[in-house]
């Protein structure tokens, strides 16, 4: 008889490094991952706990929060749920962040980004849905669009003192149909 295997996502790395700063951005990430008052976009993940059957408090989801002006209002209190079982990986190490290295970041992250666009991905990630109004047409300014946001934690992938990297990928889920998508990411910190 085959034993049933329960897969519990390991969320400890998100708990240990809850503050994420965005350095690299592309496609619609240039618009959606922006700090309204300028500077580096930055947010923090606040754990949400449930008590399990043994009476232990367990992290089950994360609420996104940020200081005023660090992210667009769409992101406030976005609730991220852990999904997937396959750890995300890169083919090599990213160089230390520098705007001149953006093309290298783009190329190395590209396979992971397109994997995260897919409905059937099984990568370990945090998922949320973000509401937005696109500044594209009279209709899109009035009609709500929902993008699916996926966030993965990449351990030991940057050749820098902080070797970890968080990648955010989002794409159209529902509402006004524009063929937009985007990505961005940066270091997670304590």
Partner 1 sequence: MPTGRALCIGVDTAASPGGLAEADACALADVARQQGFCSSTLLLGPEATIDRVRSRLRAAAAESQAGDLFLIAFSGHGGRKPVHAPRPGADGASSSTLRGVWVLYDGSLDDAAMHAELAAFRPGVRILVISDSCNGGVPGQAIDAVPERAHHARIAASVLVLSACSPERFADGPGMPAHFTTALLRAWHDGGRALDHRRFYEKVAAEMPAYQRPTYYWVGMPDARFEAQAPFTI
Binding site for partner 1 (CB under 8 A): 26-27, 30, 99-100, 102-103, 105-106, 110-111, 114, 117-119, 134, 136-139, 147-148, 171-173, 176-182
Residue closer to partner 1 (CB basis): 164 or 181:
181
Sequence-distant (6+) residues with CB within 8 A of 83 are 9, 124, 125, 126, 127
Residue closer to partner 1 (CB basis): 147 or 154:
147
Residue closer to partner 1 (CB basis): 6 or 119:
119
Residue pointed to by tokens 């852990």 = 82
Can you give the length of the chain in residues? Answer: 190
Do residues 81 and 124 make contact, with C-beta atoms less than 8 angstroms apart? no
Do residues 21 and 158 make contact, with C-beta atoms less than 8 angstroms apart? no
Hey, what are 173's tokens? Answer: 């889920």
Shortest separation between residue 50's beta carbon and partner 1, angstroms: 28
Shortest separation between residue 85's beta carbon and partner 1, angstroms: 19
Shortest separation between residue 49's beta carbon and partner 1, angstroms: 29
Residue closer to partner 1 (CB basis): 53 or 99:
99
Residue closer to partner 1 (CB basis): 34 or 59:
34
Shortest separation between residue 123's beta carbon and partner 1, angstroms: 13
> d(Cα 114, Cα 74) in Å, to the nearest integer?
23
Shortest separation between residue 107's beta carbon and partner 1, angstroms: 8
Do residues 185 and 22 make contact, with C-beta atoms less than 8 angstroms apart? yes
> d(Cα 182, Cα 168) in Å, to the nearest integer?
8
Shortest separation between residue 125's beta carbon and partner 1, angstroms: 13
Residue closer to partner 1 (CB basis): 11 or 109:
109
Burial class of 158 by CB neighbour count within 10 A (0 to 12, 13 to 18, 19+): buried
Sequence-distant (6+) residues with CB within 8 A of 63 are 45, 46, 48, 77, 78, 79, 80
């Amino acid at each position: 008889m085959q034993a049933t295997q329960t897969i519990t996502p390991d969320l400890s790395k998100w708990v240990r490094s809850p503050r994420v700063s965005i350095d690299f951005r592309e496609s619609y990430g240039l618009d959606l991952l922006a700090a309204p008052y300028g500077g580096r976009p930055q947010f923090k993940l606040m754990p949400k706990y449930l008590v399990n059957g043994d009476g232990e408090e367990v992290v089950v989801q994360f609420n996104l929060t940020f200081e005023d002006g660090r992210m667009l209002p769409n992101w406030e209190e976005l609730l991220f749920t852990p999904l997937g079982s396959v750890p995300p990986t890169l083919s090599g190490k990213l160089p230390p962040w520098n705007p001149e290295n953006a093309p290298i970041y783009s190329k190395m992250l590209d396979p992971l980004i397109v994997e995260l666009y897919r409905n059937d991905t099984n990568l370990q990630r945090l998922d949320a849905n973000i509401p937005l109004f696109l500044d594209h047409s009279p209709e899109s300014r009035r009609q709500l669009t929902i993008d699916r946001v996926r966030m993965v934690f990449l351990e030991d992938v940057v050749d820098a003192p902080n070797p970890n990297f968080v990648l955010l990928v989002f794409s159209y889920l529902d509402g006004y149909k524009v063929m937009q998508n985007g990505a961005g990411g940066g270091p997670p910190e304590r």
